[in-house]
Amino acid sequence: MWKAICKASLAVLLSGAGWAVAAPAMTAQGAVAGQRQAGVDVYRGIPFALPPLGALRWRPPQPVPAWQGVREAGKFAPACMQQGVSMPGEAAPTVSEDCLYLNIWAPPRHAGQRLPVIVWIHGGGYTNGSASMPLYHGDRLARKGVLVVTIAYRLGALGFLAHPALSAESPHRSSGNYGLMDQIAALEWVQRNIAAFGGDPQRVTIAGQSAGAMAVSALLVSPRAKGLFQRAIAQSGGIFEPLQLAPGYLLANAERDGVAYMQALGATTPDAMRKLPAARLTGTNPVSHPVIDGDVLPLSPYDGYVRGRNHDVPLLIGSNSEEARALVDVTAVRADRFEADITASFGALPVALLAAYPHDTDAQARDARLGFERDLRFGWDMWAWARLAQSGRSPVYYYSFEHQPPFPAGSVHAGWGASHFAEMWYMFDHLGQAPWKWRAADHALAAAMSDYWVRFAATGDPNGQGLPHWPAFRGAAGQVQRLGDPIGTGPVPALRQLQVFDAVYAKVRGSAFGD
């Protein structure tokens, strides 16, 4: 009876819209109407939590009440409050504080279907990004037999403000991490509802890039996320450096930064803080990152793995061989100023660390700065994460993306190479979104990477028929999958430089790696 009523309602709802109707889905809150486009069912703008407005600002996400009838899921919701874009070349999204929605791309379902699920956590430095960015659309992956869910989460100060007054309101005496709470709420929604879309709640993979990958590392040690996913993918991001170098992640310090930030905005009480216009709480600020709060994130990802308090699930992680080219302008780098400039940016560095990146000529100095930034921001974190995780029961699959896309001269992407962001056109199999002169090698790599990612979501192992073998990572100098033309297996890139970073970080911690 419900199906007949739902189909009749959908026919009225979508009449004249020119859409093919997706199979209706009944969530715990009510029915949703999607669209069928190019053989994929798409549901946009499904709420997974109440709008975090007014008294709900800086509070945990609250459940959505049930609705009557059929809710249209044909339009993307606004992105969470932010300034700018998370990726050069993308259009700035429409934004709102009312932003806690998710989107689903699913193969047409049939009785008894239970397909693997990838839940995508977007990047953007915790200050911008969108669940609806075209590059993240899951249509191409869905055609390969997986459901793709893209989720929003609160950003900037709205997502990560820690403040003593907010901690006093909390039964856990903590604050911050509202963005992580949103991610957990979305994963809880997936557990309750994804079967209605043909997904398997016991085969959920969390996946993210950049800040999204850092969030994955946090979720892997959050007790609140236990049981909400069975595999994890992290691309170019993790939180593993010594906390001595990032003291702002500790709750007391984050609260102090939050007080200073609110005082600068003229708000000293929770009521005054919640009355601030949302637009004043966007952009980069000192409280735009997760906090080790004793509750959502009781300890750092590094310490969680060392103490055996991580969720032991199959892991696929890696980074790109030229990460920094998309992030750092090195045109003014000169050999005679290299050490002074890098010290001005990062403070006094050990001689061994500077010596690991030869900079005798201007050309060397430019390459050295790019290599240093690559390894500092991404390379060491992913190598450390792989080493920590491979000591568990579940396998780790470690990659290095080394392919140079055909970014055209004169474009915003010119000169990027295998940079930060570059792998995403391939793993989402979205070469068709960019009007560049893609080569046969690009199409072959996109087909293989999307197959690897889908296969991993399905089984916890990226290997499959027709794909170059990808061995599990074993040991500090284990083999990584070199994603390029051709795909092959090789040693960890820049291993000597990573080992120097490792020695420096061990000295900062006061112990050797893993002790």
Q: What is the DSSP letter of 310?
A: S
210 is catalytic: yes
The partner residues of 315 in beta bridges, in order of sequence, read 232, 396
Cis peptide bond upstream of 24, omega within 30: no
413 is catalytic: no
Residue 18, both tokens: 């020119």
> Catalytic one among 289, 420, 423, 450?
420
Cα-flanking dihedrals φ and ψ of residue 149, to 5°?
A: -120, 125
Cα-flanking dihedrals φ and ψ of residue 208, to 5°?
A: -165, 165
Q: What does the alpha-carbon distance between residue 262 and residue 187 come to, in Å, rounded to a whole number?
A: 31
Number of Cβ atoms within 10 Å of the Cβ of 297? 26
- The torsion region of residue 265 among left (phi > 0), alpha (psi -120 to 50) and beta comes to alpha
Q: What does the alpha-carbon distance between residue 157 and residue 210 come to, in Å, rounded to a whole number?
A: 19
Cα-flanking dihedrals φ and ψ of residue 235, to 5°?
A: -115, 110
> Catalytic one among 323, 373, 402, 423?
323
Which residues does 34 contact at the CB level (< 8 Å), separation at least 6?
Answer: 21, 22, 23, 25, 41, 42, 43, 44, 73, 74, 104
Q: What does the alpha-carbon distance between residue 147 and residue 162 come to, in Å, rounded to a whole number?
A: 35
Tell me which amino acid residue 269 is.
T
* CA 149, 152, 153, 155 torsion-angle sign: positive
Q: What does the alpha-carbon distance between residue 474 and residue 482 come to, in Å, rounded to a whole number?
A: 15
The partner residues of 35 in beta bridges, in order of sequence, read 21, 42
* Nearest partner of 258 among 153, 156, 154, judged by Cα: 156
Asked if residue 362 lies in contact with residue 333, where contact means CB atoms within 8 angstroms, the answer is yes
Q: Is 352 helix (H, G, I), strand (E, B) or coil?
A: helix
* CA angle (217 as vertex; 212, 223 as ends), nearest 5: 115
Q: What does the alpha-carbon distance between residue 107 and residue 112 come to, in Å, rounded to a whole number?
A: 13
Residue 358, both tokens: 């030869």
CA distances for 101 relative to 199, 207, 458, 510, angstroms:
18, 17, 25, 43
> Catalytic one among 130, 210, 400, 419?
210
* Nearest partner of 140 among 71, 40, 60, judged by Cα: 40
Q: Is 138 helix (H, G, I), strand (E, B) or coil?
A: coil
169 is catalytic: no
Asked if residue 142 lies in contact with residue 105, where contact means CB atoms within 8 angstroms, the answer is yes
Instruction: Enumerate the active-site residues.
Output: 210, 323, 420
